Structure 1
């Protein structure tokens, strides 16, 4: 690298990482307006969010493996190029199908964060790499909150298409910067086989589960198409499980579930992701509703998500201090309870904007605390050589929770409403169901992991946070203190 490129590498990586924020902010707040513009039902429009998350969930482990070698720059170009193409397709779409396809392509951009972390780890001094990786994690959390009101403001004044054109422009700049600063690793690494078959099976299985969740209110929960698709989806997921246990380089290593901590982290990550997305979709729609909602603009709806994103980033940095005073089980469980309290407040009030903001602040505190602590739980429990695989598994589980939450949100609103139409009571009832999910997550994180050994308790919390972020990028940290396996 030239000296100028060396100086610019950190801000360039941060900007590339920020593409996650832009992609995420082009989702939930825009859905009600997209439904109006394209004359589509809100349940069908929800696939403009769900498709992005499904692609991100499947692509994340594949992109991480393809990019952890000499083809890293090509993988970056393909992912960020897909974001640009997807945003252009969404901006030009005059019907729902092309828009959903464009949004699906944008999901590849959400899978690129590990490669930015890998580039920092491979080409920067260790101390600088740790700071950059920590900064990237904040960009991925707090940046999302800043992206929501910005894209909402653009959509309010220029329409939904203008928001996607903004995404295309940011994606194009990210593509150029990524090709400039992201280089392949200096060492030769074993190239793992890509589990394309496993990715295909789980993708089809997940979609076959999500479609009946979307259509069950219209077709009937016991109708033949709904039951057939549910059965087919669950059957394919069972086949995928069998395949993953037998293949040499699986998409996710299910054998790691033998560790109670890994089982806890994946179950809690899925539940928390499910909870987060149901609540997020419910609130941004409620804020924009003219009938019994708050009747606010897309900008204001996006603004309500800022406390969640900003506070989740703040709490991730506060984790070492929290763990110096409390056990990791207490930290995770209290985070889940905070999410439940936020949902409870929305379910019992939901009459003023300030109440929604406080609700999302509580959710942000809870999500940031829990999601930041879960990687540490994995790092403490598994041998160093299994950390990368275990963290990859956790990332996929969390994305699966996001996808299920996105698919379930509108279905719950309609199912609990009047004649398939959401009502004020259905919004409040859905929020109260989320309270139950938050409490369930708290119970899982308190009782399932078991008690850590003395050696595990002695590990500094900062190593848990750092190793969690490094391992999510498919990296190993040779400086981590030894831990025992459970």
Structure 2
């Protein structure tokens, strides 16, 4: 009696080693491509008003809309993945990125570009979906390293995307950048269809929580919009304070609804478990620490040497130096997985946040040279690789398999909130500590030192929060396969 391979797949059995390796490669590639969208338009920021015939304030929506859409779409994609299949939702998440890239490539004005960037934001949910799918299809002995790699792809793609986008922008037409993105995503979609198996689907078969999704989406928009635009609107303006108040009310209403719903978008009772709750709090702090580096180092590298603290690098060379962080994440991710296997993911998370804090600390004496900033980038990226690989492992060790995608998506949302807060804080600090030179406002050396100090303190806070995570013993081992899965795999 030999059951066909498809039967073993449907029962949740791990694929053969060759299939497992190809599955991991495809999911890692997809995660990197999806995260490329974060830094895709960074080299264009200064030229967007001219390209789109819009004011600088309106052109900034090209960045803001991606953030807002990603925040709303990520928990929705995770819940749908638990209900209807993670592979299916992976494919559904990549298609909007491809369509959005094409829309951006042919745009000649602001509105189409905003629509295209909004569609690209729908793809951020691919990373937590991929992490959740790994729990279903990877052999237990390879699960830890696979999770670390996929989780780090968010930082890897962001770091590698910067030099690629910079080179394309400098040596070719900016539209080529979006056409290339569309082709990369099309390849990812085809590979998922051809290579990636479907994971187990143990979620409820009932209806999707539409009211919960709408309430959470509205609350996140009201929260993140003033965080992103507060510096331009004024932090004490009626619009800013009104949206923050609306966000608080909507979050309370959403929480009340989720606790009453028989099939909630996010199971708050599971989210409130100490291990999940504290890990999510640490994720916010890690997001703040990560993005502060990505916002400050490129600016410092490109400022003129005549200032005395700028390093005078071109856009392309800045991208090359920043890419060292992405390369380091790829190298360190397997090491972080081994540390998690030996000492538990909590230890890895604490280690990562402490390394990030140390990286910001050494930035203060090393910021005067390009080599020093590369060292800072490598140290901080090492810490990010440890931390990003550990957080999904902590989350998945505390939730049932039927909640894996939703729980990981919510954790990704917490990181996104951290990066949004970081952007607001760093932007406010550098704007406040700046000097006017002609028509340009230039951040001062003291402003950058303040950002590095804030980054170090925030990472130390993240380490303290991580120390307080109450880890169950079961978390430190890979979840066992269910009896029917083990039987199906053995019979093959």
Q: Common fold, TM-score beyond 0.5? A: yes
Q: RMSD over aligned Cα, in angstroms?
A: 3.9
- TM-score, length-scaled by structure 1: 0.79
Residues 405-439 of structure 1 deviation map (CA, whole Å, 9 limit, x = unaligned):
34444233224435894522323322222222112
Q: Is 1:423–2:440 an aligned residue pair?
A: no
Q: Is 1:274–2:288 an aligned residue pair?
A: yes
Q: Quick one: structure 1 residues 14 and 346, their matched pair in 2 at CA, closer, same or farther if it must change by over 3 Å?
A: closer
Distance in 1 of aligned mates of 2:63 and 2:293: 14
Contact 1:273/1:399 (8 A) holds in 2: yes
2:465 to 421, 444, 450: 444
Distance in 1 of aligned mates of 2:367 and 2:186: 40
Q: Quick one: structure 1 residues 114 and 231, their matched pair in 2 at CA, closer, same or farther if it must change by over 3 Å?
A: closer
Distance in 2 of aligned mates of 1:46 and 1:141: 22
Unaligned runs of 5+ in 1: 468-475, 481-486
2:127 to 113, 138, 147: 113
Distance in 2 of aligned mates of 1:443 and 1:120: 29
**1:124 Cα deviation (Å)?**
7.7
Q: Is 1:319–2:340 an aligned residue pair?
A: no
Give the structure 2 partner of residue 235 of structure 1: 249
- TM-score, length-scaled by structure 2: 0.78
Q: Is 1:401–2:408 an aligned residue pair?
A: no
Unaligned runs of 5+ in 2: 7-17, 486-492
Residues 277-324 of structure 1 deviation map (CA, whole Å, 9 limit, x = unaligned):
232122223333447543333322322332332333333321244357
Distance in 1 of aligned mates of 2:49 and 2:405: 40
Distance in 2 of aligned mates of 1:378 and 1:72: 17
Give the structure 1 partner of residue 209 of structure 2: 195
Distance in 2 of aligned mates of 1:42 and 1:413: 18
Bigger shift: 284-293 or 105-114? 284-293
Distance in 2 of aligned mates of 1:90 and 1:125: 40
Give the structure 2 partner of residue 470 of structure 1: none
Q: Quick one: structure 1 residues 86 and 379, their matched pair in 2 at CA, closer, same or farther if it must change by over 3 Å?
A: closer
Contact 2:435/2:441 (8 A) holds in 1: yes
Contact 2:82/2:202 (8 A) holds in 1: no
Bigger shift: 70-79 or 287-296? 70-79
Contact 1:80/1:175 (8 A) holds in 2: yes
**1:133 Cα deviation (Å)?**
6.2
Q: Is 1:223–2:237 an aligned residue pair?
A: yes
1:308 to 325, 329, 336: 325
1:104 to 101, 118, 122: 118
Give the structure 1 partner of residue 72 of structure 2: 58
Q: Quick one: structure 1 residues 317 and 84, their matched pair in 2 at CA, closer, same or farther if it must change by over 3 Å?
A: same
1:359 to 376, 395, 398: 376
Distance in 1 of aligned mates of 2:368 and 2:457: 22
Q: SS of 2:45's equivalent?
A: helix
Bigger shift: 406-415 or 357-366? 406-415
Q: SS of 1:335's equivalent?
A: helix
Bigger shift: 247-256 or 135-144? 135-144
Distance in 1 of aligned mates of 2:390 and 2:141: 22
User: Which structure 2 residues correspond to residues 15-414 of structure 1 after superposition, within 5 A?
Assistant: 15-34=29-48, 37-38=51-52, 45-68=59-82, 75-116=89-130, 136-137=150-151, 139=153, 141-182=155-196, 190-191=204-205, 193-290=207-304, 292=307, 293-323=310-340, 329-381=346-398, 389-414=406-431
Distance in 2 of aligned mates of 1:214 and 1:117: 28
Distance in 1 of aligned mates of 2:341 and 2:89: 40
Size of the aligned set, in residue pairs, is 462
Q: SS of 1:93's equivalent?
A: coil
Distance in 1 of aligned mates of 2:286 and 2:20: 38
Bigger shift: 371-380 or 72-81? 72-81
Distance in 1 of aligned mates of 2:190 and 2:275: 40
Distance in 2 of aligned mates of 1:216 and 1:395: 23
Distance in 1 of aligned mates of 2:187 and 2:337: 35
Q: Quick one: structure 1 residues 211 and 395, their matched pair in 2 at CA, closer, same or farther if it must change by over 3 Å?
A: closer
Distance in 2 of aligned mates of 1:79 and 1:379: 22
Contact 2:353/2:460 (8 A) holds in 1: yes
Residues 197-233 of structure 1 deviation map (CA, whole Å, 9 limit, x = unaligned):
3333233323323333344444433232222222222
Q: Quick one: structure 1 residues 355 and 74, their matched pair in 2 at CA, closer, same or farther if it must change by over 3 Å?
A: same
Give the structure 2 partner of residue 473 of structure 1: none
Distance in 1 of aligned mates of 2:345 and 2:136: 30
